[in-house]
Amino acid sequence: MTLIAQDDANAVVIIGSGAGGGVLAHELTRRGIKVVLIEAGARQSLASFSQNPGKAFEQLSWLDPRTSSGTWTVPQDYPGLPSWTCKTVGGTTVHWTAAAPRLNPWELRARTAYGAVPGTSLIDWPLEYAELERYYGLAEQRMVVTRRHGNPGLPASSNFKVMYNGARRIGYKRVHTGYMAINSRPADDRAFCIQQGFCIQGCKTGAKWSTLYTEVPRAEATGHLDLRIQCQAVRIEHAKDGRVTAVIYRDPQGVEQSQKARLVCVACNSVETARLLLLSESARHPHGLANSSDQVGRNFCHHVAGFIWGAFEKPIHFYRGTTLAGIIEDEIRNDPARGFVGGYHLELAALDLPSLPLAGFPCTTWGPDLAFFMDHYARLSGMLINGEDMPRSTNRISLNPAVRDRFGLPVANIHCDEHPNDAAMRAHAQRQGKAVYEAVDAVAVTFSRQTPATHNMCTARMSADPAEGVTDAHGRTHDVPNLFISDGSALSTPGSANPTLTIVALALRQADYIARQMRAHDL
CA-CA distance, 11 to 22, in Å (whole number)? 16
User: Is 337 exposed, middle or buried, given 0-12, 13-18 or 19+ CB atoms closer than 10 A?
Assistant: exposed
Please write the tens of the pLDDT for every residue from 300-351. Answer: 999 999 999 999 999 999 999 999 999 999 999 999 999 999 999 999 999 9
Opening angle at CA 224, ends 503 and 238, nearest 5: 70
210-217 average pLDDT score: 98
Tally the C-alpha atoms within 13 A of residue 452's C-alpha that lie toward its C-beta: 20
Q: How many CB atoms lie within 10 A of CB 58?
A: 11
Domains of the chain in start order, with CATH, are: 12-519 (3.50.50.60)
Tally the C-alpha atoms within 13 A of residue 321's C-alpha that lie toward its C-beta: 21
C-alpha dist (Å) from residue 237 to 234, 270, 474: 10, 20, 22
Q: 413 forms bridges with which residues in the sheet?
A: 67, 398
**Minimal CA–CA distance to 147: which of 123, 174, 120?**
174
Max Cα distance, the chain (Å):
70
**Minimal CA–CA distance to 250: which of 233, 275, 227?**
233
Helix (H) or strand (E) holding 512: helix 500-519
228-250 average pLDDT score: 97
Write down the pLDDT at residue 427: 97
Of the chain, the percentage scoring pLDDT greater than 70 comes to 100
What is the band of 215 on the pLDDT scale with cuts at 50, 70, 90? very high
Q: 310 forms bridges with which residues in the sheet?
A: 381, 445
The phi and psi torsions of 121 (rounded to 5 degrees) equal -120, 45
Please write the tens of the pLDDT for every residue from 432-451. Answer: 999 999 999 999 999 999 98
Helix 158-169 and helix 420-438, axial crossing angle in degrees, nearest 10: 100
**273 alpha carbon, distance to own chain's centre:** 13
Helix 129-143 and helix 500-519, axial crossing angle in degrees, nearest 10: 100
Contact 288, 483 (CB under 8 A): no
Write down the pLDDT at residue 2: 84
The phi and psi torsions of 128 (rounded to 5 degrees) equal -80, 145
CA-CA distance, 503 to 487, in Å (whole number)? 6
Contact 311, 337 (CB under 8 A): no
Q: How many CB atoms lie within 10 A of CB 197?
A: 20
Whether residue 499 has pLDDT greater than 90: yes
CA-CA distance, 118 to 468, in Å (whole number)? 17
136-140 average pLDDT score: 98
What is the band of 123 on the pLDDT scale with cuts at 50, 70, 90? very high
CA-CA distance, 14 to 26, in Å (whole number)? 11
Alpha helices per DSSP H over 144-206: 158-169
**Minimal CA–CA distance to 395: which of 295, 285, 475, 464?**
295
Whether residue 362 has pLDDT greater than 80: no
Q: 504 forms bridges with which residues in the sheet?
A: none
The phi and psi torsions of 88 (rounded to 5 degrees) equal -170, 160
CA-CA distance, 21 to 36, in Å (whole number)? 11
Q: Is 10 helix (H, G, I), strand (E, B) or coil?
A: coil
Write down the pLDDT at residue 438: 98
User: Is 137 exposed, middle or buried, given 0-12, 13-18 or 19+ CB atoms closer than 10 A?
Assistant: middle
Q: SS3 letters for 360-419?
A: HCCCCCCHHHHHHHHHCHHHEEEEEEEECCCCCCCCEEEEEEEEECCCCCEEEEEECCCC
Whether residue 357 has pLDDT greater than 90: no
What is the band of 488 on the pLDDT scale with cuts at 50, 70, 90? very high
Write down the pLDDT at residue 396: 98
Q: Is 281 helix (H, G, I), strand (E, B) or coil?
A: coil
CA-CA distance, 481 to 145, in Å (whole number)? 34
Whether residue 363 has pLDDT greater than 80: no
Write down the pLDDT at residue 365: 78
CA-CA distance, 125 to 468, in Å (whole number)? 11
Write down the pLDDT at residue 283: 93
User: Is 195 exposed, middle or buried, given 0-12, 13-18 or 19+ CB atoms closer than 10 A?
Assistant: middle
Helix (H) or strand (E) holding 220: helix 215-221
Q: What letter would DSSP give residue 357?
A: I
CA-CA distance, 484 to 467, in Å (whole number)? 17
Write down the pLDDT at residue 150: 97
Please write the tens of the pLDDT for every residue from 60-104. Answer: 999 999 999 999 999 998 888 899 899 999 999 999 999 999 999
Contact 493, 391 (CB under 8 A): yes
CA-CA distance, 130 to 416, in Å (whole number)? 32
CA-CA distance, 60 to 84, in Å (whole number)? 10
**Minimal CA–CA distance to 363: which of 277, 451, 274?**
451
419-442 average pLDDT score: 98
Whether residue 198 has pLDDT greater than 90: no
**What is the average pLDDT score of the chain?**
96
**Minimal CA–CA distance to 486: which of 211, 228, 223?**
211
What is the band of 3 on the pLDDT scale with cuts at 50, 70, 90? very high
